Structure 1
Amino acid sequence: MEADEFGGPALVLGSVRGRRSFGVRADGHLTGVFHTQVWHPGENLARCRRDGGVVERRPDGRIVVRTSSSREIGTGHGLGGCTCGFYAYYQQDPYTAHRRLSGVVEGYGRVVLGTAGFRAEKARILALLLPAEPAFDVRGPGAPGQPVHLDDVEPVERREADVTRIRSTYRDVAFFAREDDMLAAYPPTERGPEV
């Protein structure tokens, strides 16, 4: 993710759609891949972590962001010059992995368009793709960024339990078994601004 991929005009009328990946918590809530902020059903409001975020690469190769504080994005906060917001991609999401959920989100409010995707002040999950892989890397609600290992449960049971929790948490989100079906029903915005 390069800064110039998410720079560009700061005004969008309406909303934009994009693809993104999610982490999965043991309680069925979804999080970001880098930030462990929970995605709630319905509208999500981004928080600015400019006051103290630290990016870490863990020994297992995962990248996480520790934050010391966050604040709501008020009307005086411009998205320019900051990296806050919900990110999504017009085409392939580079953070898709076999043990993460992928989906389509709608971004609105103050939005910064880039050539690869956008970042938005507000977002909501429209659709989720159920992975073929029978298990997720699950994050525990008490330990942001730390996977919870459920070694005593068979992988297929683990996946079905997680999907049941996720479906009950995100009742208004469409779930798909095939990526082509998801993208046909909820197509991402085709491309970014002409540069």
Structure 2
Amino acid sequence: MAGEVQGYRRFRLTEDGLCPPVHFGAGPWDGRIERARCAVDEGHVPPEWGCGCGLYGWYHPSYTGLGTGWGNVTAVVAARGRVILGDTGFRAAAARIVAVSLPRRTGPRRRRRLEQVLAERYPDVSVHRSRRRMVRRHPPEDLSALGVAVRSSPAVRYRWTALVLWLCGVVALCSVAVVPRAVLDRLGLVEWLGVLACFLLWQAALVWLVCRASPPPAGPARQEPTEAR
């Protein structure tokens, strides 16, 4: 719809509706238009430059993380009004939910119940049984006209690299376990120090990759405020 900026974000899907995971106590989003409220200073209208208030969203779905926890879902939102655009996400004065994907590994009985909750509270929202289907139906928006380059999160590449490195390390450890004892007895102090150094480097690389694979807080905004048009 004209005048809106599309993005993605996480929600906790409960019996009451779609609740933001950070400010869970604020309750579920409105079924039509959710308007931002500043929890720090009620004297200004969100989003305020330098405050951090506003409704958050990412330009690309990869920034929402894996979301494998129970009840975690990815949703497509359309922001409107005053919007502060950032490098990877935005903060908006108001937004509406466009689509939502059901949690992974949802049984048939609970899936029907969740679909009923969404139909009652969000009748205009399209519901998808997988995130892949939802993103295929609602792909990332081209925001080049607003000076924003929409890119996928590098955390995905770090995540796969960490998995490959972990598997390589496990294979190496299993290989050492089957080396004959006579061969190990012939290793000197320098060789054992080298093995220990390789093991520590492997652990350090895994920790670094896992930290890089963790997505940053949602919706960073470093550019000047702009109106969605």
Write the letter of the residue equivalent to 2:9: R
* Structure-2 separation of matches of 1:186 and 1:165: 22
Structure 1 or 2: more strand by fraction: 1
Q: 1 or 2 for the larger relative contact order (CA 8 Å, sep ≥6)?
A: 1
Q: Which residue of 2 aligns with 1:35?
A: 23
Is the partner of 1:181 in helix, strand or coil? helix
User: RMSD value over aligned CA atoms?
Assistant: 2.5
Provide, for residues 112-155 of structure 1, a one-character-per-residue CA deviation record: whole Å limited to 9, x for no partner.
11111111010000001123322xxxxxxxxxxxxxxxxxxxx6
Partner of 2:4: 15
Match of 1:88 among 36, 57, 79: 57
Residue segments in structure 1 that go unaligned for 5+ positions in a row: 1-12, 52-70, 135-154
Q: Which one of the candidate residues 25, 35, 40 is aligned to 1:45?
A: 35
Quote the Cα distance in structure 2 between the aligned partners of 1:121 and 1:31.
17
Distance 2:123 2:108 in 1: 22
Compared CA separation, residues 14 and 173, structure 1 to 2 (3 A)? same
Q: 1:187 to 1:72 in 2, by over 3 A?
A: farther
* 2:13 is equivalent to residue 24 of structure 1: yes
Report which of the two structures shows the higher radius of gyration computed on alpha carbons: 2
The 1:47/1:95 distance shift into structure 2, 3 A limit, reads farther
Greater helix fraction, Structure 1 or Structure 2: 2
TM-score between both structures, scaled by the size of structure 2: 0.54
Percent identity over paired residues = 32
TM-score by length of 1: 0.63
Question: Contact 1:126–1:174 (CA<8 Å) still a contact in 2?
Answer: yes
Contact 1:47–1:72 (8 Å) recurs in 2: no
Q: Which amino acid aligns with 1:114?
A: G
Looking at structure 2, the residues matched to 73 and 172 of structure 1 have their Cα atoms a distance apart, in angstroms, of 30
Pairwise mapping of residues 4-153 of structure 1 onto structure 2 (< 5 A)? 14-27=3-16, 29-36=17-24, 37=26, 38-51=28-41, 71=42, 74=45, 79-91=48-60, 92-98=62-68, 99=70, 100-134=72-106
Offset of 1:78 from its aligned partner? 5.6
Q: Alignment length, in residue pairs?
A: 141
- Whole-Å separation in 1 of the counterparts to 2:113 and 2:128: 17
Amino acid at match of 1:30: L
Q: 2: CA distance between counterparts of 1:32 and 1:86?
A: 10
Deviation at 1:167, TM superposition (A): 2.2
Unpaired runs of 5+ in structure 2?
Answer: 150-222, 224-229
